[in-house]
Amino acid sequence: MNLSRLRTFVSVAELRHFARAAGVCNLSQPAVSHQIAALEQEVGARLFNRAGRRVSLTVAGEVLLEEARRILAVIDRARERMHEVTSGAVGRIRIGATATPGLYLLPDLLARYRAKHRTFDLEFQIGAADEIAERVARNDLDMAVIAGLPPTAELRARPLCRDPLVAVGTAVDPTAVKGPIGRLDVARQCWILREPASATRRAVDAWLHRHRIVPARTMTFDGPDAVKRAVMAGLGISMVSKLTVADELKARHLACVKLRGPLPTRDLHLIDHPQKHHGAACSAMIALLGATFPRISEPAARRKPSNATGAARSSREER
């Protein structure tokens, strides 16, 4: 249904006069009559009763007037909203993260974003790396921060910061206070592991495989907090992101376990779709991330290999 005809119809219906409606719509009277005739033909009913210069609505005209006002109000509101969005007055961002950056890196940054951009809608979700990357690819999320690289080349990845892994045990565990322990001693430990879908779990599994270590016992917990609690309870040792245990190490609730050889280090990345147009809200988030993490502007071709990559290369050379 033609919106111009609807607006002309509403003007005639409210003013009950074709000539006056023509002035309001900045049209000639014949043009108004033509639009009304075309609209009547489109809806299949007469909309006005005409008796000389007097104009009144038919039953069909009264029904259409009610609906036309609703339609035009929605259109006007949509235009207002689009103006607000394009001018940066309002906006929406849907950001996701894997557990480590989502729980330990982003909350403070999101609080700063919220304080600076109160009119923007902010949605935040935490999930497994594969799930989060898939949601970004489907445009269910605008962007995300994940540990490591996304599982698909469809997405663009920009580095934020390094995320070294550390081995931890309880502060009273002798394993945590003596010198570096060898492969056999490491294998005798009960290892507290993250859930299989975790990027941290994949990094730990790769490290154990690379060093030909098969733990005698393992226990699996969902999320970094559950792993920390299990280690602090004395159930075993673990290898986790240093971000997740910084406070516990400082408070001496946990202690570093010294293992032989370098431990993995991965990058935390901002991922998004390279073809996506970012509005004001998303652009503001990217600007804040750029100010917080200068590495975000580092070209992909110039990224330095992580310690994990270097360790893998050294291990292959040793074999």
pLDDT at 318 over 80: no
| Structure tokens that stand for 100 in this block | 């480590």
d(CA 192, CA 208): 13
Q: Rounded to 5 degrees, what are φ and ψ at 274?
A: -65, -20
Residue 228's nearest CA partner among 200, 268, 202 is 200
The answer to whether 268 and 161 are in contact (CB under 8 A) is: yes
Report how far Cα 236 is from the mean position of its chain's Cα atoms. 34
User: What's the pLDDT at 43?
Assistant: 92
pLDDT at 315 over 70: no
User: What's the pLDDT at 295?
Assistant: 86
- The letter for the amino acid at 241 is S
User: Which single residue is written with the structure tokens 């993490």?
Assistant: 293
**pLDDT tens, 162-181?**
999 999 998 776 555 456 77
DSSP for 65-118 reads HHHHHHHHHHHHHHHHHHHHHHTTSSEEEEEEE-HHHHHHTHHHHHHHHHHH-T
pTM over 0.75: no
User: What's the pLDDT at 177?
Assistant: 47
d(CA 256, CA 238): 10
Instruction: Give the count of beta carbons closer than 10 Å to the beta carbon of residue 209.
Output: 11
| Structure tokens that stand for 69 in this block | 């006002």
pLDDT at 294 over 50: yes
Give percent of the chain above pLDDT 90. 65
Residue 110's nearest CA partner among 99, 100, 121, 313 is 121
| Structure tokens that stand for 147 in this block | 């540990």
| Structure tokens that stand for 130 in this block | 């594969």
pLDDT at 4 over 80: yes
User: What's the pLDDT at 304?
Assistant: 43
Average pLDDT over all residues of the chain: 87
Could you give the 3-state DSSP secondary structure of residue 209? helix
Helices 280-292 & 106-116, crossing angle to 10 degrees? 130
| pLDDT band for position 88 (cuts 50, 70, 90) | low
User: What's the pLDDT at 52?
Assistant: 72
pLDDT at 108 over 50: yes
| pLDDT band for position 76 (cuts 50, 70, 90) | confident
**pLDDT tens, 212-262?**
999 999 999 999 999 999 999 999 999 999 999 999 999 999 999 988 889
User: Which single residue is written with the structure tokens 């990058």?
Assistant: 267
| pLDDT band for position 137 (cuts 50, 70, 90) | very high
User: What's the pLDDT at 305?
Assistant: 40
| pLDDT band for position 202 (cuts 50, 70, 90) | very high
d(CA 30, CA 16): 16
For residues 51 and 8, the model is more confident at: 8
For residues 299 and 194, the model is more confident at: 194
d(CA 187, CA 173): 16
